[in-house]
C-alpha cells in the first residue's frame, strides 16, 4: 500500500508495537509501503526518537542481510516509580484486606490499562533474557501472565489444580503450600513446554512462595529452565521465603488493625536497569 509519510509513520508505529521483540526487515517495510529503503530508514529514525522521548520503548537496529529493526518494550524509571506508587495507593484501602492476609485485587486484575502497564514493567526487566514462555498458576495470575507475554511476544502456559480432558496427557506434581503447609497438586499438559524452554514464572500474590516453588519443580520435570520469577505483590514477615531470586512490584507490610493497608514498592528496582 502506498501511503504518505504521515500515514506511513502511523502504520509503522502501530505495526511495531503490535509485534514487540520481533525483527522486522527493511525489505518487509519497503514492500509493505512501496517505498525506498532510504525513506523507511528515515521514518524509523523518527519513530525511534519519539519512542525514546516518551519512554514507551526502544527501536534496536540489527545490521546484516538478515537484520532490520526490533521494538523493545520499555518504561523509564520515573514513570515506573509513579505507576507503582499510584498502584500501591489504590491497594492500601483497609477495605481490601481479606482473611488470611490476602488483598482484594480482582478489580485491579480486570483493568486493561493497569494490567498492560504491569506487563510492561515486567517485560522491561526480562526483555533481554531470551524468554520462550510465560508460566502461571490458575487463576488470578492469568491476566498478568498474558500482559507480560504480550510485551515479550511469547506464549503463556497455565498450571492447574486438576487435569482437563481437553488438554490430553499431563505431568502432575505434589507440592507443599508455603503458608498453609498443606500438600497440594498442580498439573501441566505434556504439550505445553518443549524441552529446554526458558520460562518466566509470574503470579499475582506471594506469601511464602510455595506455589511458585511448585511451578519451578514442574518446569524442571519438563527439562526446562526457570530464568525469572515476577509477582505483583509479596508479603513481608513470611520468613524465610521458599524462593531466593524473585521480582516483586509491590510489598505488603505488617498489618495493624484500624489503619490503612501498608503497601510499598517491592524489590523491583533491584532488578530494573535504566537503559
In the block, residue with C-alpha cell 502501530: 14
* 3 pLDDT tier (thresholds 50, 70, 90): confident
Report the alpha-carbon distance of residue 40 to residue 32 in Å, rounded: 10
* pLDDT value at 261 more than 80: yes
CA atoms within 13 Å, Cβ hemisphere of 57: 23
In this structure, are 105 and 207 located in the same domain? yes
| Residue at which a domain ends, from 15, 45, 73 | 73
Q: Looking at per-residue confidence, does 94 or 15 come out higher?
A: 15
Output the nine-digit C-alpha cell for 82: 509513579
Distance CA 190, CA 185 (A): 16
- Report the alpha-carbon distance of residue 165 to residue 117 in Å, rounded: 35
Pick from 73, 97, 130: which residue ends a domain? 73
Placement of cell 514487540 in the chain: 20
Average pLDDT over residues 105-112: 94
Whether residues 105 and 30 fall in one domain: no
Per the structure block, which three cell numbers stand in for 114? 493497569
Residues 60 and 124 in one domain: no
The answer on pLDDT for 98 being more than 90 is: no
One domain, residues 68 and 190 = no
Continuous segment of H or E residues that includes residue 61:
strand 57-62
Mean pLDDT of 44-48: 94
**Confidence grade of residue 250 (pLDDT, cut at 50, 70, 90):** very high
In this structure, of 64-73, 181-190, 206-215, the range with the lowest mean pLDDT score is 64-73
For the chain, counts of helices (H) and of strands (E): 9, 11
Whole-number pLDDT of residue 178: 63
Task: Print the domain residue range for 202.
Answer: 77-271
Task: Output phi, psi for 107, to 5 deg.
Answer: -65, -35
**Cell numbers for 96:** 481490601
> Is the per-residue pLDDT at 174 higher than 80?
yes
Closest among 186, 187, 185, 190 to 169, alpha carbons compared: 190
Please answer whether residues 59 and 70 qualify as being in contact, where contact means their C-beta atoms are separated by less than 8 angstroms: yes
Residues 82 and 124 in one domain: yes
Give the confidence band of 226 by pLDDT, cuts at 50, 70, 90: very high
199-219: per-residue pLDDT in tens? Answer: 999 999 998 899 999 999 999
Q: For residue 152, how many other CB atoms are within 10 A of its CB?
A: 23
User: Could you tell me if 184 and 154 lie in one domain?
Assistant: yes
Of the ranges 93-102, 109-118, 258-267, the best mean pLDDT one: 109-118
The verdict on pTM exceeding 0.85 is yes
* 64 and 160 share one domain: no
pLDDT at 155 over 80: yes
Residue 60: give its domain's CATH number. 1.10.10.10
**Count of domains forming the chain:** 2
Question: 200 and 164 in one domain?
Answer: yes
Amino acid at each position: 500500500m502506498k501511503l504518505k509519510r504521515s500515514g506511513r509513520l502511523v502504520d509503522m508505529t502501530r505495526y511495531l508495537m503490535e509485534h514487540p521483540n520481533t525483527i522486522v526487515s527493511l525489505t518487509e517495510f519497503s514492500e509493505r509501503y512501496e517505498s525506498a529503503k532510504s525513506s523507511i530508514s528515515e521514518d524509523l529514525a523518527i519513530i525511534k526518537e519519539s519512542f525514546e522521548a516518551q519512554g514507551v520503548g526502544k527501536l534496536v537496529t540489527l545490521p546484516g542481510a538478515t537484520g532490520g529493526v526490533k521494538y523493545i518494550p520499555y518504561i523509564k524509571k520515573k514513570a515506573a516509580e509513579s505507576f507503582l506508587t499510584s498502584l500501591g495507593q489504590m491497594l492500601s484501602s483497609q477495605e481490601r484486606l481479606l482473611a488470611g492476609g490476602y488483598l482484594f485485587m480482582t478489580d485491579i486484575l480486570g483493568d486493561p490499562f493497569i494490567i498492560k502497564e504491569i506487563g510492561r514493567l515486567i517485560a522491561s526487566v526480562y526483555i533481554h533474557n531470551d524468554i520462550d514462555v510465560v508460566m502461571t498458576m490458575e487463576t488470578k495470575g492469568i491476566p498478568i501472565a498474558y500482559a507480560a507475554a504480550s510485551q515479550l511476544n511469547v506464549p503463556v502456559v497455565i498450571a492447574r489444580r486438576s487435569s482437563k480432558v481437553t488438554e490430553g496427557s499431563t505431568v502432575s506434581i505434589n507440592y507443599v503450600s508455603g503458608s498453609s503447609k498443606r500438600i497440594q497438586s498442580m498439573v501441566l499438559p505434556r504439550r505445553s513446554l518443549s524441552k529446554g524452554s526458558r520460562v518466566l514464572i509470574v503470579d499475582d500474590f506471594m506469601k511464602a512462595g510455595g506455589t511458585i516453588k511448585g511451578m519451578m519443580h514442574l518446569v524442571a520435570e519438563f527439562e526446562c529452565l526457570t530464568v525469572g520469577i515476577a509477582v505483583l505483590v509479596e508479603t513481608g514477615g513470611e520468613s524465610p521465603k521458599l524462593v531466593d531470586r524473585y521480582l516483586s512490584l509491590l510489598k505488603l507490610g505488617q498489618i495493624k488493625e484500624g489503619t490503612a493497608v501498608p503497601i510499598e514498592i517491592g524489590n523491583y528496582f533491584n532488578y530494573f536497569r535504566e537503559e
